[in-house]
Structure 1
Amino acid sequence: MALMTDDVVAVQGASTASSRLGVGLGLALASATGFALSGPLARGLLDTGWNAAAVVLVRMTVAALVLLPFGVRALRGNWTALRQTWRTVLLYGALAVAGAQFCYFSAVAHMAVGPALLIEYTAPAAVVGWLWLRHGQRPGLLTLAGAFVAVLGLVLVLDLLSGGADVSPIGVLWSLGAMVGAASYFIISADTDNGLPPISLAAGGLVVGAALLGLLGLSGILDMQRAAEDTTYAAHTFPWWAPLLALGVVTAAAAYVLGIMGTRILGSRLASFVALSEVLAAVIFAWLLLGQVPAPVQILGGALVLLGVIGVKLGEKTVEVGPELELDIP
């Protein structure tokens, strides 16, 4: 009887872990999908006279304003947690939010978008290396094989093999800076010991990121250009503020919160590889909203990215299931 009871408990535990894993994957994929929508939406604004820096600043500012009240409420008056983790919030805002964005747009000012994205999306490899060197979590052969397949798929999704890549040393350095910012996003988001609810960390980071980008704009380091013309998506016309609102609420506020929640369940390594689906989703959104039909090689690349993510998942010896996470919204 005791043996049967132990078997039942084991089955229930495995079922719970599997259920939580599914939730984590769903949150991470929803976050990646939200981030992916930002490119096509921004493209419509760029075509009307906005520049990238101005779009990013408005996106971060709107997201910060939306999340700040909920982030404060989620603390439930526990200001001690915020005082103890203010360095984490500053680091998250500076690296994961403002740093990644600023470095990426600086990179594309010197080189083509495809190679810049490829370098930035080596962030999962940086996460694996960090966990190995810092925490002794040595990746297995299956994890490394999955990572290789995912990167190969990324090359195909970005269609880098169809022609010569425009690469410059300065652009590569900026892209590496964006990679550090992206890796920081996964590493900091996975920390469940800082006592901050996901929505509070996201709100704090977005406030810091928006403030830093604003200071860069005021100082003249970032040139800000904006317009008030209507935008067009999928043959439909929208007022200029509509995509900006969607960029702030959907592709930033919701995407960051869901990403933190998913990463705390999956861990930084697996979550960083799941996030590669953002590139595939961006290709699909560009097709639906902008009429940019993906090439067959890009579809093949998407399949390889998914196969690589599965390989990384199977290579994980255990899946650490984080505590229950709640999105505290009244």
Structure 2
Amino acid sequence: MAAPRTAAGVLLAIASALTFGLSGSFASSLFETGWTPGTTALVRSAIGALVALPFGVAALGGRWHLLRANLGLLTAYGVLAVTGAQFCYFMAVQRMEVGPALLIEYTAPAAVVLWLWLRHGQRPGPVTVLGAVLAAAGLTLVLDLTGGASLDVAAVGWALLAMTGAATYFVVNADHSSGLPPVTLAAGGLLFGTAVMGLLALCGVLPMGASTSDVVLAGHQTPWWVPVLLLGVVTSGIAYLTGVAAGRLLGARLGAFIALFEVVAGVGFAWLFVDQLPAVVQLAGGLLILAGVIAVKLGEGRVVTVEPVDTAVS
């Protein structure tokens, strides 16, 4: 049964990475007409919650005690994995270029490996380490950071907080101990994340602003509500539902590395929808990321679990 589960998990993870990868292009088209990152993130999360909620309630099957027992987990997931990953990233790109901000945020898979090692004693083998190095090198090429963009401390701090949110997303997705069905976790996280962003907006922390002007997608004038609906339904609702389900099947480590395809997908969709043509070096980076994911999968069977030493006297 392991092979079919892994195959299903990989397909779900790729679907999640592709749908998440669309968000940059759609959001960028809205930014050009006066939408702020805060409004875009809030509306995206709210629509995603509406999409995921019926599935989450159905999967729960009346076991409402699971929600009460995991209220803290759902709150943390909504604050860190949903709100944190989006809001902190947008704060970072207000102060630095998008490429460096993405590169910092997508050190999350390495953070997941480190967390599993420190918290659960799952020491990565050399093949997994090689996969991490290849994936990091591939990301550097995909983001094409040869321009030597300048960084400031505040921007790096926000991007690192976004990385923490992304790492939390992968770790919590892979955790079976809560008893929550994966779609219920996704729906609850989106609902709590929307509530948190709503509070931030009311407090004036989240910058708000929108427009009903047409946007340009793939060279065509498009009504503003088209990218808004696609952002909410596809890049939020579907993306989180498939991502959480993939995490349960693959585990945090492999799920996080396959999610790196989001960067490759984002570059491709930016080329298609907003005419940002990727360079040859970026395509080479995508191949390095693929090699890194394969190496991580091969290294899964070589993880060494360090058991704690029992010093009690029997």
* Interval of TM-score (by shorter of Structure 1 and Structure 2): over 0.9
Alignment of 1:105-254 (within 5 A): 105-161=90-146, 163-254=147-238
Which of 2, 7, 10 in structure 2 is aligned with 1:25?
A: 10
In the aligned structure 2, how far is the partner of 1:174 from the partner of 1:215? Answer: 19
8 Å contact kept, 2:37–2:207: no
2:78, 2:190 within 8 Å by CA — same for their partners in 1? yes
Q: CA deviation at 1:318?
A: 6.8
Q: Distance in 2 between matches of 1:58 and 1:144?
A: 38
The equivalent residue for 2:260 is: 276
Percent identity of the aligned residues? 56
| Structure-1 residue corresponding to 2:312 | none
253-262 vs 68-77, greater mean Cα deviation: 68-77
Are 1:39 and 2:24 an aligned pair?
Answer: yes
Task: Give the Cα–Cα distance (whole angstroms) in 2 for the partners of residues 22 and 73 of structure 1.
Answer: 25
Rounded to whole Å, the distance in 2 between the matches of 1:274 and 1:46 is: 28
Match in the other structure for 2:65: 80
The SS at the match of 1:316 is helix
- Residues paired across the two proteins, number: 303
In structure 1, distance between residues paired with 2:294 and 2:151: 31
* Runs (5+) with no aligned partner, structure 1: 1-15, 320-330
Task: Give the alignment partner of residue 259 of structure 1, picking from 199, 220, 243.
Answer: 243
Counterparts of 2:118 and 2:290 in 1: how far apart (Å)? Answer: 27
| TM-score w.r.t. length of structure 2 | 0.94
> What is the alpha-carbon root mean square deviation over aligned residues?
1.1
**Selected match of 1:314 from 283, 298, 304:** 298
Shift of 1:249: 0.5
Residue by residue over 1:61-82, the C-alpha shift from the partner in whole angstroms, topping out at 9 and shown as x without a partner, is: 1111222232122211101111
Following superposition, which runs of at least 4 residues in structure 1 exceed 2 angstroms of deviation? none
Contact 1:115 1:166 in 2 (8 A): no
SS at match of 1:317: helix
Which residue in 1 is equivalent to 2:55? 70
Using structure 1 for the length normalisation, give the TM-score: 0.90
Aligned residue type for 1:108: V
Distance in 1 between residues matched to 2:262 and 2:150, nearest whole Å:
23
